[in-house]
Copies of this chain bind each other. A is one copy, B any other.
Amino acid sequence: MRELSPVLVIGAGLVGASVAQALTRAGLRVHLQDRVPSHAQVAASRGAGTVDPPVAEKVRLVVVAVPPKALPKVIAEALTTYPKATVTDVGSVKGTVLAQLRSTELDLSRYVGSHPMAGSQRVGPLTATADLFVDRTWVVTPHDTSSAHAVLDVGEVADLCGARKVSMGAAHHDEAVAQVSHLPHLVSVLVAERLTEVPPEHLRLAGQGLRDVTRIAGSDPQLWSQIIEANGTAVLAELIALRTNLDALIAELDTESGVLATLERGREGTRALPGKHGLSAVEFAHVVVEIPDAPGALGRLFRDIEAAGVNIEDLRIEHDLDRERGWLSVQVAPERADDLTAVMTDSGWTVRDRDPQL
């Protein structure tokens, strides 16, 4: 194992405090700093390290976990203040940070960016956990002048956090996240934005599809506006590509074959997305069981599902709009659906053989 102690984590929000907890658990000595001292104290009280200041000359690793706009300045200060340390950050956008660092006179050989692909709608050190990154993708973004030593150090951080490392250049990373994260986020926002102009009674006709499309639009606007701004170039390219496709769809709207071709390309796209266990998504059968909305009901329900010996591939709870009632939609292998339905019916449950979607 590489010698990374002592570590300094700057920024004790969800991601910073979680990295600090994971590194502390791995046996490293971790110091915590936050612009709001109480954040660092809360994180320290939850096993993320100490708020005692480190001896600057001794720090071997600095993890910068501050909001996107503050990254370049804090990284630059860290490179200066901690002359022996490898410095990394955990920001969602890498290119603009690197460009701003390059515009300084600093030697950047000790800097290597990274982006752990985990987060939460929640923020702050109280929500942190040493397990936040386990089995998540952690992108390491070395640049042209990153030293081997620094790259290996940052890879070790990802390993100690239990993540899966992927190495990419900054611009490559930013294009990829614009495609798979930032564009979908903005599109979700655009659909949700339209709902503010829709009469409330129309929303009675909304189904699960609309809920799914708009869910991520509920995330923190402050954080996301900084992410979008920092990745402006790649996001702009994606939005323009989307507009081109939208214009094409509008133009072909009166030709059924054109709409059909678009819908077919869309379905093809969903199949390109890795499903569970890295395989393509499989179509499972849905068995929908009515559940009382009370403690213990799901426990009894799953005991009976267990009696059926059927492997549950996925599940979802649906709720009735007006009544205190819910359904559990259980996805199972198609050939096991009848068995499960029979066992559940025999056990006195109301099984509704329908899909939660639409």
Interface residues in chain A, defined as those with a beta carbon under 8 Å from any beta carbon in chain B? 18, 117-122, 127-129, 131-132, 134-135, 137, 139, 164, 166, 175-177, 179-181, 183-207, 209-219, 221-222, 224-226, 228-229, 232, 235-236, 238-243, 245-247, 249-250, 253-254, 256, 259-260, 262-278, 281, 283, 286, 293-296, 298-303, 305-306, 309-312, 314-317, 319-326, 350, 352-355, 357-358
Contacts and interface: CB of A to CB of B under 8 A. Distances in A.
B203 A274 contact: yes
Contact of A269 (B193, B212, B281): B193
A137 B205 contact: yes
Contact of A219 (B132, B139, B267): B267
A259 B298 contact: no
How many copies of this protein are present in the complex? 2
Dominant secondary structure at the A interface: helix
A202 B217 contact: no
Contact of A253 (B228, B241, B267, B326): B228
B238 A209 contact: no
Contacts of A215: 209, 212, 270, 357
A340 to B, nearest CB: 11
A276 B326 CA distance: 9
A212 B221 contact: no
B180 A210 contact: yes
A354 B129 contact: yes
17 contacts: A117-B207, A139-B205, A166-B205, A176-B198, A179-B194, A180-B195, A181-B210, A184-B210, A189-B267, A192-B268, A192-B269, A203-B273, A214-B273, A216-B358, A219-B267, A221-B267, A236-B250
A202 to B, nearest CB: 4
A278 B119 contact: no
A262 B193 contact: yes
A139 B204 CA distance: 10
Contacts of A122: 355
B211 A273 contact: yes
A193 to B, nearest CB: 5
Contacts of A263: 189, 217, 221, 224-225, 228
Given A232-B254, A317-B315, A266 B213 contact: no
A354 to B, nearest CB: 5
B312 A306 contact: no
Nearest to A180: B206
